[in-house]
Amino acid sequence: MLDSPSPYGELMASAWLMWLCKHIDPIEVFSAYTRLRRVGRRWVGLCPLHPERTPSFYVFPETNSFFCFGCHRGGDVFRFLQTAENLDFSGVLRLLQERWKLPPPPGEPSTDRDRQVAALIQALDRAHRFYQQALYTEAAAEARAYLKGRGVPETAWEVYGLGYAPPGGQALYDYFRQADVPTWVIAQCGLFIERDARWFDLLRHRIVFPIHDPAGRVVALAGRALEEGVPKYLHSPETPVFRKSQTLFGLGWAAPAVRQRRAIVLVEGYFDAVLLALHGWLHTVALMGTALTADHVRWMQRHADRVWVGFDADESGQKAAWEALHELVGGGFTPSFLRWTHGKDPAEVLQSAGPLALERAFAEAMDGWDFALFYLMTRHAGVSHDEWSTLRRDDARWERSAAALVQDRRALQALFQLLARVPHQSGRYYAALQIARRLGLEPPAQLYADFLRWLRRKPGTGSQGLGPGLTPPTLTLEGTSLPFYEKWILRGLVERPHLFERLMARVGEAIVEAARSRRLLRFLYDAWYAGRTVDWSLLLQAFADPPESLWLHDLLRDEGPWDEQVFAEAVELLHIVYFRRLRHELARSRERLDPDLARQVYALTRELIELEQASGLHRLKPSTD
């Protein structure tokens, strides 16, 4: 997994890089994740490792390395793929072979861990093929009938890697012993349990599903029971090659479709994922019997712009969807939620109403804030699931339900906890306005003001926990005046948001953090990024506390001359502040960076500073605090 040590030693790194460069241009690998354009000797594009709107991702062809000025990640092409796909080094090699059709890499695994991973992956692949073949035996007649009854035709069994685990508890073990699989592999692969010094198969008389990592390797197996009285689903425990919190079922077929469509459908059950894929939603994956985690969301951030959540319609499924909403909102997504009206899950909907009902569910999906109101109203305002479908926002029933919701302390606290997960103040402000307007609250901004008061009273929340744009009431005002160039920048961005392109053309979002007015700039940037309009009155509402409120009033009183040339000069000054800070940070941490990468980043920084000095702006010395 990504958090494991690299299976290949430092001495082998250059050999692997030479092997890659011999068969494919690393620029082609980077270009599969973002659109790059040449700028001098380098290539630049939007960073695929974090959301951004202006390019801050640089690729250096001389060393086949990258660095992002926005998220400050860097390294060679292998480190990039490890981060982008959440893979270990051997998984990256497999991904390169599968996706770019490269020949096998030279040499053999060189460490004990390499050999361990290779042996476990080989054993899991062998077990998967054994179960696939068992599906066509006489003993699997019940399993084949079950699959057909669930709407999975025989032509799909091979496509989705379905298999059958025979009863008895010794079939796979005997097969492994005949193949001379080492005992330590049997103990660690997660497919067997030990009792009384004997080994037994974990999966028995079950439909078998393979679980893949993003490179397409089988890293675990799961089974669906064909009889009552036993756990319905059972899958491999965590092993050196499998972590539930980092894995999604269905990546074997869904990963290419997710990358192509930039969208993902998230469900709970394995059969739900298979059936949705069969009916055209190839970008469907399922959770591994656990809650949605931050690791899952990070993988989605790298590959998708839109997320559909189609969890079960029962109580546990809706609770899981509510928890997933928190993780997705925290990851910057605005998810859509599917409501199943002809069954509790996609499989039942297909059986009872057919594919058209699925299409209707996607067409009528709720956005995240509507789902939040639905979830809270059904629990705190006396609204039943059936009543929600008939509620209209101009209806008296809606007004009564909304009033009951905002008067319930537990409901408001749950809503505020969700708002607190939104990454930026701008996003929180607009989310609060949307919710307030849907509830019919007047004035809408009052809900956001109540949220800020709740956030400041929240136990354990200090200035470090308030997030961008939120200032504690005891903030000192000493030394808080704005540099003149930041005033010019703020005036320009409020009145001409398109100037953000010029502000961040060189280093991306990181430039915002160099400014003393970073909270105001971040608010404006988030709004511009989301296509929203910000005016002075909105800013004054959102920043009612000093020092931002004082800066805004000062800006409104300023009637000095301003034009785009003045803005351009102000941007150059802020760039100098940023590059000086970056150079200082690199000087302090260069011994911890890869030497080649540190030299590349330092050279780029120095080159840009020299360009600014050539313009004559070096005569002005902006503050660097």
The CATH number of residue 508's host domain is 1.10.860
Q: What pLDDT band is residue 413 in, cutting at 50, 70 and 90?
A: very high
Same-domain check for residues 490 and 420:
no
Rounded to 5 degrees, what angle do the CA atoms 234, 237, 240 make? 150
pLDDT at residue 4 tops 80: no
Q: What pLDDT band is residue 465 in, cutting at 50, 70 and 90?
A: very low
Beta strands 233-235 and 263-267 are unpaired
Give a yes or no: residue 434 inside a domain: yes
Beta bridge partners of 164: 207
Q: What pLDDT band is residue 92 in, cutting at 50, 70 and 90?
A: confident
Same-domain check for residues 205 and 312:
no
Instruction: Report the candidate in 325, 340, 211, 346 with the shortest Cα–Cα distance to residue 273.
Output: 346
**Burial class for 406, CB neighbours closer than 10 Å (0-12, 13-18, 19+):** buried
Query: For residue 571, what pLDDT is reported?
Result: 85
pLDDT at residue 104 tops 80: no
For range 569-574, the mean pLDDT: 81
Give a yes or no: residue 254 inside a domain: no
Write b or e for each residue in 251-282: b if 16 or more Cβ atoms lie within 10 A of its Cβ, otherwise e: bbbbbebbbebebbbbbbbbbbbbbbbbbebb
Query: For residue 476, what pLDDT is reported?
Result: 30
Helices (H) and strands (E) in the chain, counts: 29, 16
Residue pair 602/593 in contact by the 8 Å Cβ criterion: no
Give a yes or no: residue 22 inside a domain: yes
Same-domain check for residues 430 and 537:
no
Same-domain check for residues 28 and 138:
no
Same-domain check for residues 160 and 214:
yes
Query: For residue 106, what pLDDT is reported?
Result: 62
Same-domain check for residues 356 and 418:
no
**CATH number reported for the structural domain that contains residue 39 in this entry:** 3.90.580.10
pLDDT at residue 565 tops 80: no
Please write the tens of the pLDDT for every residue from 303-362: 888 999 999 998 899 999 999 999 999 988 989 999 998 888 998 998 888 899 999 999
Instruction: Report the candidate in 367, 306, 309 with the shortest Cα–Cα distance to residue 332.
Output: 306
**CATH number reported for the structural domain that contains residue 318 in this entry:** 3.40.1360.10
Please write the tens of the pLDDT for every residue from 163-192: 999 998 899 999 999 999 999 999 999 999
Query: For residue 283, what pLDDT is reported?
Result: 95
Domain boundary among 470, 501, 533: 470
Give a yes or no: residue 1 inside a domain: no
Q: Which two tokens stand for residue 234?
A: 């059972």
**CATH number reported for the structural domain that contains residue 152 in this entry:** 3.90.980.10
Give a yes or no: residue 201 inside a domain: yes
Q: Which two tokens stand for residue 239?
A: 């092993």
Q: Distance (Å, rounded) from C-alpha 527 to C-alpha 426?
A: 6
Q: Distance (Å, rounded) from C-alpha 76 to C-alpha 63?
A: 8
Query: For residue 83, what pLDDT is reported?
Result: 86
Please write the tens of the pLDDT for every residue from 608-617: 566 555 544 4
Give a yes or no: residue 476 inside a domain: no
Please write the tens of the pLDDT for every residue from 499-516: 888 888 767 778 888 888
Same-domain check for residues 82 and 171:
no
DSSP string computed for 462-496: -TTTS-TT---TT---TT-PPPHHHHHHHHHHHH-
Q: Distance (Å, rounded) from C-alpha 448 to C-alpha 452?
A: 6
Same-domain check for residues 460 and 546:
no
Q: What pLDDT band is residue 458 in, cutting at 50, 70 and 90?
A: low
Say which residue, 264 or 34, is predicted with more confidence: 264
Range of the domain at 209: 112-242
Helix (H) or strand (E) holding 221: strand 218-225
Same-domain check for residues 20 and 136:
no
Query: For residue 620, what pLDDT is reported?
Result: 42
pLDDT at residue 8 tops 70: no
Q: What DSSP designation does 246 have? A: G
Beta strands 198-201 and 74-76 are unpaired
Say which residue, 446 or 597, is predicted with more confidence: 446
* Amino acid residing at 370: D
Please write the tens of the pLDDT for every residue from 352-396: 888 999 999 999 999 999 999 999 988 887 777 777 767 666 677
The residue behind tokens 């988030």 is 526
Domain boundary among 330, 364, 398: 364
Same-domain check for residues 569 and 490:
yes
Residue pair 93/118 in contact by the 8 Å Cβ criterion: no
Give a yes or no: residue 105 inside a domain: no
| Beta strands in 179-292, from DSSP E residues, in sequence order | 192-195, 198-201, 206-212, 218-225, 233-235, 263-267, 284-286
Please write the tens of the pLDDT for every residue from 49-82: 887 777 778 888 877 888 887 787 888 888 898 8
Q: Distance (Å, rounded) from C-alpha 469 to C-alpha 517?
A: 10
Same-domain check for residues 335 and 393:
no
Q: What pLDDT band is residue 530 in, cutting at 50, 70 and 90?
A: confident
Cα–Cα distances in Å, from 424 out to 193, 371, 521? 47, 21, 11
Give a yes or no: residue 521 inside a domain: yes
The number of domains in the chain is 5
Q: Which two tokens stand for residue 214?
A: 């993003």
Average pLDDT value over all residues in the chain: 81
Query: For residue 464, what pLDDT is reported?
Result: 34
Same-domain check for residues 395 and 423:
yes
Domain boundary among 242, 271, 286: 242
Q: What pLDDT band is residue 462 in, cutting at 50, 70 and 90?
A: very low
